[in-house]
Chains A and B, each alone.
Chain A
Amino acid sequence: MLKQAVPKQAWMWIAIAVVAALALLPLLPGAIDSYAFSFLFFVFIYAIMAQGWNLVAGFGGQISLGNHAFFGLGAYTTAILWSGNYLWGSLYDAYPRIYYFDPVTMVLGGLVAAVAAIIIGLPLLSKLRGDYFALGTLGFGEIVKVMFINGGDFTGGAFGVVAPAGTFDTLLPHYLVGLGLMVGVALAIRLLMRSRYGLALIAVRDDEMAASANGIDVLRVKVAAFAGSAFIAGIAGSLYTYYIFHVGPDSVFDLDWMLLPLMMTVVGGTGTLLGPILGAFVMYAVFDLARIVVPDYHPVISGLTIILAMLFLPKGLMRSFGGRVRVV
């Protein structure tokens, strides 16, 4: 029927080759200090965020407009645990770098976000559908932000929290952890979507009533997808904290952390596995290029790019050029 631009199997090999190239990039002399390195680090963060949004919205069909709140929760959790040394006690004195990319801290960042998603998701998803759910999550995001601004000493108010270590001399660990997380999240979602649970999620998206009639607990599936999406966003927030150190309400609860990944996912291809990653790469490149070439106009260019992409590529890159893409 459709002529395949790229054969099915090829996507997997392309992905593996790209990941291998990215993993080997630091070995290139000068690469670590190059601009491309920090550029790629941000692409990884956005790709992780986009993947998280894609899980609940692309595969689950529930448009969340509150993923920036989960990103911020992960970032704050990391910064607070670290600056207050709540986790490692005296070990921290012995190993001052113990909080750096500490898996326990990062997973806790994701878990806090996931728990928040369950708390808010249960009432919202049992009552609200479609646009109403989207509006509800948007309101939730704003509430969380105000709560952190008014959180007193614990959250540092409008200023936020500063993580104790202030500098790093290399971006290498950030890069590798970012790459690892991006690949890990993609693999996890691939596994998930091929499992019973993934099928249930897609069934719920395509026809809630039919899914329910076939014995799927619709609410549980939706809430789990929402929580999974929040977990991924929380981990991304945690990763960002190790880069930015200063976690403030205006920086980590910025709506851009929701809007940009959403945009990247849609440009790449909603409900595809590689779409969010491709979208993050392409869109971040466009934004960054605009920032360098026409610094005064770059947000104008970003806005224009979104509009043009949606007008001419509404199905996203993966579905437009990917031939018959196998969705997961």
Chain B
Amino acid sequence: MQAIPPPEILLQLSLNGALGGAMYGVAAVGLSLIFGTMRLIFLAQGAMIILAAYFVRALFYGLGIDPFLSLLIVVPVGLGVGWLVYQGLFRRAAAEEDRNISLLIAVGLMFLVQNLMTVVWGGNTAAVVTSYTASGIEILGVRTSFTRSMGFLIALAGTGLVVLFLRKTLVGKAVRAASEDMEAATLMGISPHRVNAIAFAIGIALAGAAGVAVATTFPFNPFAGFIFSLKALVALALGGIGNVAGALAGGIILGLIEAYVQYFISGGWTNAIAYGVFLAVLMFKPEGLFSRPYKKA
């Protein structure tokens, strides 16, 4: 335990925590969409993020495409991959009553992706180092890294687009309806497979966006994804399962908790406390921190 630090340090902690947490948030938004329609805990989300990070790295070192510019490639590819993953792997399982099947397919996909990455790129830690990786910018009088801030912006923009899509478009409404009550939505003529595929496509596209943020900010390795999936789950629970904007906020809160625990207690306990908060939220506020009691999800 440390004494109360000066305000600059608190601000620094909060800023770094929030910026880092936004990455969990954007992963959680993807999980939230997939969970919403399919009731599937998509454990492979983290592995998909790392896969995207490797892809970004290959684009940068192979073709010289700037990592942030590669968003224009990664996100559409993610949409396509997500669609294919659903049609190829989950379509049949989605019709089964037993949801273990989809969960296990997700686990199998995680194994597959992790180890394919190891085969292709080796198991060592990789990173993307650009001319601006080390540069910083000043926010509210606190210096922070440029790439982290960009990651935060990507998370905000990604979540914003998803929220707009869900609120303003007819297809988005169908996705929301399906998350609330798949049976009723089906009776209204909404095709479950289409809605599921859309949720998957957007979820993987968001994994792509998160991959850009991860690639530019952290060193990564093929097995870093799983812990990311877990953190995204925590963020998801904090924000309320099914609440898209809440998932981003949940990620930011998780980032803050981690930053504070690391500073005030010790780095070794970060995960335990994060999961402790997760359990507490699941038990006492399973609808998440932000939803009003009368609103279902």
Chain A residues near B (Cβ < 8 Å): 57, 63, 123-124, 127-128, 131-132, 134-136, 138-140, 142-143, 146-147, 149-150, 255, 259, 262-263, 266, 270, 296-297, 299-300, 302-307, 310-311, 314
Can you list 25 contacts pairing A with B, beta carbon distance less than 8 Å? Answer: A63-B103, A127-B282, A127-B283, A131-B35, A131-B99, A135-B233, A135-B278, A138-B230, A139-B276, A139-B278, A139-B282, A142-B271, A143-B271, A143-B275, A143-B279, A146-B272, A149-B268, A259-B107, A299-B115, A300-B115, A303-B112, A303-B114, A307-B108, A311-B93, A311-B105
**9 additional contacts, CB 8 Å, given A63-B103, A131-B35, A303-B111?**
A131-B41, A132-B286, A135-B41, A139-B275, A140-B279, A302-B108, A302-B115, A305-B108, A307-B89
Q: In whole angstroms, how far apart are the Cα atoms of A296 and B119 in the complex?
A: 7
B109 cross-chain contacts in A, Cβ below 8 A: 303, 307
Closest 10 CB pairs of A and B: A303-B111, A303-B112, A306-B108, A146-B272, A299-B115, A307-B108, A139-B275, A300-B115, A139-B278, A127-B283
Task: Let me know if A123 and B111 touch, CB within 8 A.
Answer: no
Q: In whole angstroms, how far apart are the Cα atoms of A307 and B101 in the complex?
A: 9
B143 cross-chain contacts in A, Cβ below 8 A: none
Check: B96 CB closer than 8 A to any chain A CB: yes
Task: Let me know if B105 and A306 touch, CB within 8 A.
Answer: yes
A123 cross-chain contacts in B, Cβ below 8 A: 283
Task: Let me know if A314 and B41 touch, CB within 8 A.
Answer: no
Check: B98 CB closer than 8 A to any chain A CB: yes
Check: B121 CB closer than 8 A to any chain A CB: no
B234 cross-chain contacts in A, Cβ below 8 A: 139
Task: Let me know if A266 and B39 touch, CB within 8 A.
Answer: no
Which one, A131, A136, A302, A307, contacts B279 given CB within 8 A? A136
B271 cross-chain contacts in A, Cβ below 8 A: 142-143, 146
Task: Let me know if A134 and B115 touch, CB within 8 A.
Answer: no
A135 cross-chain contacts in B, Cβ below 8 A: 41, 233, 237, 278, 282
Say whether, besides A300-B119, A306-B111, A307-B89, A314 and B282 are in contact (CB < 8 Å): no
Task: Let me know if B269 and A146 touch, CB within 8 A.
Answer: yes
Say whether, besides A142-B230, A266-B100, A307-B105, A150 and B272 are in contact (CB < 8 Å): yes
Most chain-B CB neighbours within 10 Å: which of A123, A138, A303? Answer: A303
Q: How far is the CB of B157 from chain A (nearest CB, A)?
A: 28
A139 cross-chain contacts in B, Cβ below 8 A: 234, 275-276, 278-279, 282
Task: Let me know if B269 and A310 touch, CB within 8 A.
Answer: no
Task: Let me know if B108 and A310 touch, CB within 8 A.
Answer: yes
Q: In whole angstroms, how far apart are the Cα atoms of A143 and B275 in the complex?
A: 6
Say whether, besides A143-B272, A266-B101, A307-B108, A314 and B115 are in contact (CB < 8 Å): no
Which one, B98, B104, B233, B283, contacts A138 given CB within 8 A? B233
Q: How far is the CB of B159 from chain A (nearest CB, A)?
A: 21
Task: Let me know if A314 and B98 touch, CB within 8 A.
Answer: yes
Which one, B104, B114, B233, contacts A306 given CB within 8 A? B104
Q: In whole angstroms, how far apart are the Cα atoms of A266 and B99 in the complex?
A: 11
Say whether, besides A136-B283, A147-B272, A311-B89, A304 and B108 are in contact (CB < 8 Å): yes
- Give chain B interface residues in 179-210, CB to chain A under 8 Å: none
Check: B226 CB closer than 8 A to any chain A CB: yes
Most chain-B CB neighbours within 10 Å: which of A124, A128, A142? Answer: A142
Task: Let me know if B98 and A270 touch, CB within 8 A.
Answer: yes
Task: Let me know if B112 and A307 touch, CB within 8 A.
Answer: yes
Check: B92 CB closer than 8 A to any chain A CB: yes
A306 cross-chain contacts in B, Cβ below 8 A: 104-105, 107-108, 111
Most chain-A CB neighbours within 10 Å: which of B99, B107, B111? Answer: B111
Q: How far is the CB of A136 from chain B (nearest CB, A)?
A: 5
Q: In whole angstroms, how far apart are the Cα atoms of A128 and B284 in the complex?
A: 10
Q: In whole angstroms, how far apart are the Cα atoms of A135 and B112 in the complex?
A: 22
Q: How far is the CB of B224 from chain A (nearest CB, A)?
A: 14
Most chain-A CB neighbours within 10 Å: which of B105, B109, B113, B119? Answer: B105
Q: Which residue of A lies closest to B104 (CB)?
A: A310
A147 cross-chain contacts in B, Cβ below 8 A: 272
Task: Let me know if A297 and B286 touch, CB within 8 A.
Answer: no
Task: Let me know if B272 and A310 touch, CB within 8 A.
Answer: no
B73 cross-chain contacts in A, Cβ below 8 A: none
Q: In whole angstroms, how far apart are the Cα atoms of A134 and B286 in the complex?
A: 13
Q: How far is the CB of A75 from chain B (nearest CB, A)?
A: 19
Q: Which residue of A lies closest to B276 (CB)?
A: A143
Check: B110 CB closer than 8 A to any chain A CB: yes
B164 cross-chain contacts in A, Cβ below 8 A: none
Task: Let me know if B268 and A142 touch, CB within 8 A.
Answer: no
Q: How far is the CB of A266 from chain B (nearest CB, A)?
A: 5
A262 cross-chain contacts in B, Cβ below 8 A: 100, 104
Check: B11 CB closer than 8 A to any chain A CB: no
B230 cross-chain contacts in A, Cβ below 8 A: 138, 142
A270 cross-chain contacts in B, Cβ below 8 A: 98, 100
Say whether, besides A135-B237, A139-B275, A142-B272, A310 and B101 are in contact (CB < 8 Å): yes
Most chain-B CB neighbours within 10 Å: which of A63, A270, A310, A314? Answer: A310
B96 cross-chain contacts in A, Cβ below 8 A: 314
Say whether, besides A131-B41, A139-B234, A297 and B108 are in contact (CB < 8 Å): no
Q: How far is the CB of B158 from chain A (nearest CB, A)?
A: 23
Q: In whole angstroms, how far apart are the Cα atoms of A306 and B96 in the complex?
A: 16
